[in-house]
Every structure is written in structure tokens, then in C-alpha cells.
Amino acid sequence: MVLFLAIAVPFLSLVLACLGVATLANNRTGWILFVTGIAFLVGPILYYARTKQPYWLSGSGEVSQEEKGDFSFWLILPGFLLVFFGSPLEFSYLPVSVPHGVALEGLGLLLFGLGLGLFIWARRVARDQYSGHVQIKVNHILVKTGPYHYVRHPAYSGYLLMTLGIAIGYSSVVGVTSVLLLLLPGLLYRLRLEEKFLADRFSMEYRQYAQKTGCLFPKVL
């Protein structure tokens, strides 16, 4: 995973930014791809300059439990790639199956904005507890404030909203299908693994917390 993040991600980010520019004349969703691509190119450099560690590492402390082999990362990766790259390619080169329009572009931008805002909020509240690698540290704290007061996995909720925003913004059948059939099952596997680790670490406290909160979206009742 480290090799992928260090080598493949910068290349894919550049391609993504180019796809955004290529589609921007006909679809404002291209701005999302362009800004996202540039962010993944520049962001890791700025993060390293500030923290003196690669962005895929988070916080400090001894690890007590972790996922070996990062299987969940590789499980969700195809869904992300198909949404971010398949959606604009379908928009540009495949026959139209869902009519393009300003309404879908606007809805896509709205969903992406909501998802990004939720993800940023979750990251700011979780701070060092958040990690791209599924792990529990000895000094781990169960975060129950901010978005975590309502949802146990708000960052993953943000992922789903953002990817749906891109797929809908490009009127992409490939994108929506990828979210539902690839990304969502991968995220469910990953969050179940995280919940197992958290239940082992915090026992009854986590079980009581789980009863009061939704998994990806707030409980209605």
C-alpha cells in the first residue's frame, strides 16, 4: 500500500486533474476532478513539510491491533478508481444512457460538497485517531463528539456522498454502479473490521455507543 500511495497516487492525481480539465467545458463536475487531482499532488508535500512524516502515517503510539495486508484498502480501491476515472470517461466517450443536464450537475456538486464537508469535520474531530490503515493504538480514545455523536463512521459517509456526487454530476451509470456494487460493499467490510477492533478495545462502552448511533447515517428513531 505504501508503494501505491507514494508512486501510483501522484501519477493518478495528475491524470485525474487532466480529466477534469478535459471535461470542464461541458460539465462543471470537471472542477471537482481538477481540484481533487491538484490536492493529491500538492497536499502530501505540504503535509510532510508540516509533520515531517508521510501522510499515510497518523499520530504516534504503540499499535495494539491492526489489519494485516491492508485487504480492506485493496477492496475499496477499485470502486474509487471506477467512480473518479470511469465517470468522466463515460461522459466523454460512451453513448448517452442518462441525459446530461444542469440539474444533475448541480445535484452532484451539492452531494460532493456535503460529503467533503462531513469528511473534513470528521477528520478534524478525530485528529490522531484517524488513520488510512485499520489499527487500534494503546492510547486510542473512543471519539463520540462532533459527527461521531450521530454516526460511527462519518468519514465513510462522506466518501459515499462524494463519489455519488461525481457519478451523478457526470450522469454516469458506471459511476453509480461502482458506488453501489464495489465501493459500498468494500466500505462495509472495512467498517465491520474497525468495529470489531473497537469492540475488543472498549468493550461495553463501544456497544452502548453503537446502540445510540447510526453506522453510516444517523438513526431516524
- Going by pLDDT thresholds of 50, 70 and 90, the confidence category of residue 209 is very high
Query: Residue 195 domain-assigned?
Result: yes
Look-up of cell digits 470537471 = 30
Domain hosting 92: range is 60-212
Q: How far apart are CA 103 and CA 100, in angstroms?
A: 8
Give the C-alpha separation, 127 to 61, whole Å.
Answer: 14
Question: Model pTM greater than 0.85?
Answer: yes
In a domain, 133, yes or no: yes
34-81 pLDDT, tens digit each: 999 999 888 877 777 776 666 666 555 678 888 988 899 999 999 999
Calculate what percentage of the chain has a pLDDT beyond 90: 70
Domain assignment of residue 188, yes or no? yes
Does 128 reside within a domain? yes
Structural contact between residues 183 and 162, judged by C-beta atoms closer than 8 angstroms: no
- C-alpha of 23 from chain center: 22
Higher pLDDT, 126 or 62: 126
In a domain, 11, yes or no: no
In terms of Cα–Cα distance, which of 143, 138, 169, 166 is closest to 154? 143
Determine, yes or no, domain membership for 205.
yes
Tell me the pLDDT tens digit for each residue of 131-156.
778 888 888 889 999 999 999 999 99
- 165 lies in some domain: yes
Find the mean pLDDT for residues 106-123.
96
Burial label, 75 (beta-carbon count in 10 A; 0-12, 13-18, 19+): middle
Residue 80 belongs to some domain of the structure = yes
The domain spanning residue 83 has which CATH number? 1.20.120.1630
Rounded mean pLDDT of the chain? 90
pLDDT band at 195 (very low <50, low <70, confident <90, very high): very high
The total number of structural domains that make up the chain: 1
Taking the C-alpha atoms of 34, 12, 167 and 187 in order, what is their torsion angle to the nearest 10 degrees? -130
Higher model confidence: residue 215 or residue 59?
215
Helix boundaries (H) for the chain: 2-3, 9-24, 30-51, 71-81, 87-93, 102-126, 154-169, 173-178, 184-202, 204-212
